[in-house]
Amino acid sequence: MSKLHVTTTVNGDEVDFLCDPRETLLDCLRDKLNLTGAKEGCGTGDCGACSVTVDGRLVCSCLMLGAEAEGKTIETVEGIADGDVLHPLQQKFIEHAALQCGICTPGILVAAKSLLEKNPNPTEEETRYWLAGNLCRCTGYDKIIRAVMETAEELREAS
Amino acid sequence: MALDDRKTDFTFVGTRPNRPDGLDKVTGRAKFGADMSAPGMLHGAILRSPHAHARIVKIDTSKAEALKDVKAVVTRADFADVPFKPGLAGEFWNVLENVMAGEKALYDGHAVAAVAATSALAARDALKLIEVEYEVLPHVTDVDKAMAPDAPVIREGAADYSVPEGMHPNVVRYHESGHGDVDAGFAEADLVLEDSFVTEATHQGYIEPHACLGLLGNDGKGELWCTTQGHWIAQKTCAALLGIETSQLRVTASEIGGGFGGKTTVFIEPVALALSRKANRPVKLVMTRSEVFRATGPTASASMDIKIGMKKDGTITAARGEFRLQGGAFPGAPGDMTAMCAFAAYNLTNVKQIGYDVMANRPKQAAYRAPGAPMGAFAVESVIDEMCNKLGLDPIEVRLKNAAHEGTKASYGPRYERIGLVETLEAAKAHPHYSAPLKPGQGRGVSCGFWFNHGGETSVTLALSEDGSAQLMVGTPDIGGSRASMALMAAEVLGIPYENIRVTVADTATLGYNDVSHGSRVTYASGLATIKAARHAVEKLCERAAAKWDIPVEAVKWENGCAVPSGPNAGDFDPMPLADITAKMGRTGGPISGHFEATPEGAGVSFGTHIVDAEVDPETGKTTITRYTVIQDAGKAIHPTYVEGQFQGGAAQGIGWALNEEYIYGEDGRLQNSIFLDYRIPVASDLPMIDTVIVEVPNPGHPFGVRGVGETGIVPPLAAIANAVSNAAGVRMKQLPMSPPRILAALKDNG
Amino acid sequence: MVEVHLWSGLRSLTGGQQVVEVEAKTTGDLLRELVRTHPQLEGPIEAGVSIAIDGRVIATGLTEPIPEGSEVYLMQRLRGG
């Protein structure tokens, strides 16, 4: 099958790749661009480990074809930190031990960042429902929710 | 040199520093199983049986092999000839048979052939061209039906010595233990309650599917990268299944995206190596989620009968339990562990427990956090709760009255050393949660839980660098922050900052053998090994100081990261810091390292008590957990935040097991819910915050008092939640999961 | 002599005895002597056992000393997750 040439912007860099029309955006990020931060936990859009934003919208990259990335702006976990300065969410996740194994962490960070951009003052319930599409099997979510809420509070105080 | 073996006051232990691998894991840099690639790499895919039980008549791979993108196809013939033995004695054979089917496909999802091709898509396309002729056989997936006289026989000769004559060949192991006279005990009781309970199989549900990258040459030398709880067991097993020498296969553990017991064995690793040997190129194999559900190890399912006698004051006079566990088409269901753990929390004069290991046409069960214990606790603690209700007694008081303590003869035989059950119960009684008022429609449940914990074979090396920093090599994959705990323990002994210690999970070629990260053994055993390796290095540091000062080594002690004279008579020397000694170590006797290689045998058993509030919606049958408190004995919490995390994670998994999660098989013996949408694990909006209380009753078998904490936390939740739900709904729930349809049915039956 | 308490499922292999006596100074001695004096125990011992000495569970080790007068239990081999 002939391959498609796709040009897109990932974490601020213009990149291009050749993909099979059946390959997902997740496959392309991981296998063509070596951005292995997004993980495949299910391939059916149920676990959120592959979360990225496309033109500012939070999506499961396993549910989108690589070919659909043409001309889009994509942000992944690799783009969250500002150079060597961690995003406050990343810092807070480390401090709160909001990760155990760490496989869900990239997706949860992308999703949580997206939440705080839309709603800087989420309630616990809003945070829990926003992150309901991101499965974590290790933590019981307690420390994750606390880390997100506390980051939100600090960002509000700083602004 | 004086070194106290026991330590109770700490500088680093008990603090909560950031984990050393935190940066890697929040930036996407950490490399998990599927994140590795190699030059010339092929992609593998596995063809799986669509039948629950079928004879494999013929496999024709010629059309797949003819594709230009396909570089290798393997079937069972490409593996070593491992001899069959009954029971768990034949575990290598069992694993081989599970990894790639021989004469029969034994469950829906059983691997029958595999392909390596130039892309993942090409490999999947090629699978469709493999033609398998099956002769479909009768199947059985339910534990009680699998024991019935007319059940299809899964494999003759699989039973070991323990099974009494006359049992169905699907019963492969039998356990019976206890003490006293249960019939006499029941006769003394004011109330005797007998009931039956059922739990379905659940999956560990780690978010990272199994993944590996294997390379094996015709010279018998290989490399394997994989996500595993134990790379030495992967090395040993793969070598046996492929007929190569263990030491010729170097295995590197990737970062591991959850395991909970499910990554303690191999599934795809030997297949990747067999494909690589045939194609002479590296082969990457990654499971889909559906493959994980269908073909890796869920828990056993269980069917249980409990009988307990109690006096009016709450004293238990006798207890009897029969536990039938189904563990798939292979021996290994932990009926023995269920039996031994079921009544372990209680001081019983008369107790008898029987466990069965039963085969059925399901995937080979694997360990899942305290394997076997949660089911038994669900049944036993439900009966105790019902008896408390009937006798009008407080459930914590009754548990305190019967609680096991130091010197109690355990239900499984020996007398307990120092244990912390009573302390967890006292803490539960005093906790504000226990006295908080309940709203209408809510119920409260409590339960105790027990797990043995494990030591296991352990090797650790600690090497000092010239600048006074230390590198610690451990062999137990870091599954939940253990690098931090190891660094804390090493810092405590060496007296250098936590940040100056780099902890690496070494590969099989650079460290001696290590058992898997299981049995809650990492902080206990690798921790003990780290402490002893650090002490070994400190002995050498003291020797160098003694030589420099020209005094006997006995006159030197180690204090706050420095060698110092042990007393006024030893001489008047300034403290000599670690970095001053290591700076010159090459010229004063050579590099300084500490080692530990042994099998620590003092893991110390562990207890916990959980309190749960649940609200049941009578319209929909949906249960909401409104409050949850975990109280557990950690012996000594090295990094309390990660101990809390283990408690919370165990509780959350228990909530899933109790309320939602189950393997659902159709009449055709095929798994009906093999994706996360249908097999629903708890999501963030399902759960409340989970409060924790860390009780610390030091384990006499660890220098800092550590008890493993990883597993015990999943033992009480099933029962605690069932008790809360039953009390809220006014009807005793005897089957898990307590999904909305089951609760509605129970409410309806109850009128 | 060490009194070894067996789990009751093993009685069928020891002519009904649940406590047997053997001469042993270590856990390895104990297993060897058990098999020598009660050959039918070879099956369970080969399949894997743990030994509790005064309540401390020795999961696999054969070199652990058994102090005089200690309480010894043979147990099914423990397995973890």
Q: SS in 3 state form for B518-544?
A: CCCCHHHHHHHHHHHHHHHHHHHHHHH
Distance from the Cα of A68 to chain B's closest Cα (Å) equals: 18
The two tokens of residue C53 are 């000495």
Task: Label residue B615 exposed, middle or buried (CB < 10 Å: 0-12, 13-18, 19+).
Answer: buried
Instruction: Provide the pLDDT for residue B750.
Output: 87
Please tell me the predicted confidence (pLDDT) of residue B7. Answer: 74
Contact C54 B454 (CB under 8 A): no
Q: Judge: B368–C81 Cβ closer than 8 Å, yes or no.
A: yes
Closest CA–CA distance from residue C12 to any residue of chain B (Å): 9
Place of tokens 């610690």: B472
Taking alpha carbons only, the member of B345, B206, B175, B232 closest to residue B716 is B345
Please indicate if any CB of chain B lies within 8 Å of the CB of A92.
no
* Helix (H/G/I), strand (E/B), else coil: B472: strand
- Residue numbers in B near A106 (CB within 8 A): 28
Residues of chain B with CATH 3.30.365.10: 22-30+455-598, 372-453+604-749
Which residues of chain B does C73 touch, with a Cβ-Cβ cutoff of 8 Å?
413-414
Nearest to B162 by CA among B174, B178, B171: B174
CB pair distance less than 8 Å for C55 and B711: no
Which segments of B167-313 are extended strands (E)?
171-179, 191-199, 211-216, 222-226, 249-253, 283-286, 301-310
**What is the number of helices (H) and of strands (E) in chain A?**
5, 5
Q: Which residue stretches of chain B have pLDDT < 70?
A: 1-6
Where are chain A's structural domains? 4-79, 88-158
Third-level CATH fold of A4-79: Ubiquitin-like (UB roll) (3.10.20)
Class of residue B568 by CB neighbours under 10 A (exposed 0-12, middle 13-18, buried 19+): exposed
Topology annotation, domain B22-30+455-598: Aldehyde Oxidoreductase; domain 4 (3.30.365)
CB-CB neighbors (< 8 A) of C39 in chain B: none
Which structure tokens are listed for B73?
A: 């196809």
Q: Mind telling me how many Å the CA of C68 is from chain B's nearest CA?
A: 16
Confidence class for position C80, pLDDT limits 50, 70, 90: low
Structure tokens at B569: 């008579």
Put simply, the answer to whether B677 touches A100 (Cβ < 8 Å) is no
Fold observed for domain C2-76: Ubiquitin-like (UB roll) (3.10.20)
Q: What is the 3-state secondary structure (H, E, C) of B399-413?
A: HHHHECCCCCECCCC
Question: Does A1 have pLDDT greater than 80?
Answer: no
User: For B174, which of C9, C13, C58 is closest by C-beta distance?
Assistant: C9
- Residues on C contacting B at a C-beta cutoff of 8 Å: 5, 7-9, 12-13, 43-44, 46-48, 52, 54-61, 64, 71, 73, 75-76, 78-81
From chain C, the residues in CB contact with B342 under 8 A are none
Which residue from B minimizes the CA distance to C51? B414
The answer for residues whose C-beta is within 8 angstroms of residue B427's C-beta and 6 or more apart is B609, B631, B693, B695
| Residue-averaged pLDDT of chain A | 97
CB contact under 8 A, A44 and B676: yes
- A80: which chain B residues are within 8 Å (Cβ-Cβ)? 27
Sign of CA dihedral B618, B619, B620, B622: negative
CB contact under 8 A, C8 and B416: no
- For helices B373-391 and B395-402, angle between their N-to-C axes, nearest 10 degrees: 120
The pLDDT value recorded for residue C55 is 87
Q: Which one of B120, B121, B676 has the shortest CB-CB distance to A135? A: B676
The neighbours of chain A, by the rule of 3 or more Cβ pairs under 8 Å, are B
Q: Residue B22 is nearest to which of A23, A94, A128, comparing CB atoms? A: A94
Cβ-nearest to A132 among B286, B642, B685: B685
Q: Do A143 and B119 touch (CB under 8 A)?
A: no
- Asked if the Cβ–Cβ distance from B676 to A40 is below 8 Å, we say no
CA distances to B46, B112, B113, C42 from B131, rounded to whole Å, are 13, 11, 10, 46
Inter-chain CB proximity C54 and B260 less than 8 Å: no
pLDDT tens, position by position, B457-480: 999 999 999 999 999 999 999 999
**Rounded Cα gap, residues B543 and B551, in angstroms:** 9
Are chains C and A in touch, 3+ Cβ pairs below 8 Å?
no
Query: Considering only CA atoms, which of B438, B412, B437 is closest in space to residue B346?
Result: B412
Burial class of B57 by CB neighbour count within 10 A (0 to 12, 13 to 18, 19+): exposed
Domain B372-453+604-749 architecture: 2-Layer Sandwich (3.30)
Cα B681 to Cα B689: distance, rounded to the nearest angstrom: 17
- To 10 degrees, what angle do helices B717-729 and B373-391 make? 40
Q: Confidence class of residue A60 from pLDDT cuts 50, 70 and 90?
A: very high
B623-633 vs B606-616, strand pairing mode: antiparallel
CA distance linking residue A151 with residue A157, whole number of Å: 10
Rounded to an integer, what distance in angstroms lies between the CA atom of residue C27 and that of residue C14?
19
| Contact check, Cβ <8 Å, B257/A101 | yes
Is B28 in contact with A35 (Cβ distance < 8 A)?
yes
Please state, in angstroms and rounded to a whole number, the distance separating the CA atoms of residues B86 and B331: 8
Q: What are phi and psi of B555, to 5 degrees?
A: -90, 5
> Which residue of chain B is at minimal alpha-carbon distance from C80?
B519
3-state secondary structure of B64: helix
Can you tell me the distance from the alpha carbon of B314 to that of B380, in angstroms, rounded to the nearest whole number? 15
Query: Taking the domains of chain C in order of start, what are their residue ranges?
Result: 2-76
Nearest CA-CA distance, residue A87 and chain B, Å: 10
**CB atoms A22 and B256 under 8 Å:** no
- Give CA–CA dist B270/C70, Å, rounded: 45
- The chains found to touch B (3+ Cβ pairs under 8 angstroms) are A, C
Query: Which of C55, C61, C79 is facing B414, going by the closest CB pair?
Result: C55
- Chain C, nearest residue to B700 by Cα: C56
Residue indicated by tokens 């008896």 = B387
State the pTM of this model. 0.97
Give SS3 for B63: helix
Listing DSSP states for A96-110 in one string gives TT--SS-SSHHHHHH
Q: Which residues pair with B285 in a beta bridge?
A: B212
What's the confidence (pLDDT) of residue B2?
Answer: 38
The CATH class given to the A88-158 domain equals: mainly alpha
CB pairs < 8 Å spanning B and C = 110
Cβ contact, residue pair B160, C43, below 8 Å: yes
Residue of A nearest to B479 (CA): A101
Q: Determine the distance in angstroms separating the CA of C10 from the nearest CA of chain B, rounded to an integer.
A: 8
Which residue in the set B88, B340, B414 is minimally distant from C47, CB to CB?
B88
Closest CB from B121, B645, B682 relative to A97: B645
CA distance A159 to chain B (A): 24
Nearest 5 degrees, angle CA B697-CA B702-CA B706? 45
Residue C6 pLDDT > 70: yes
Alpha-carbon distance B454 to B451, whole Å? 9
Contact B352 C8 (CB under 8 A): yes
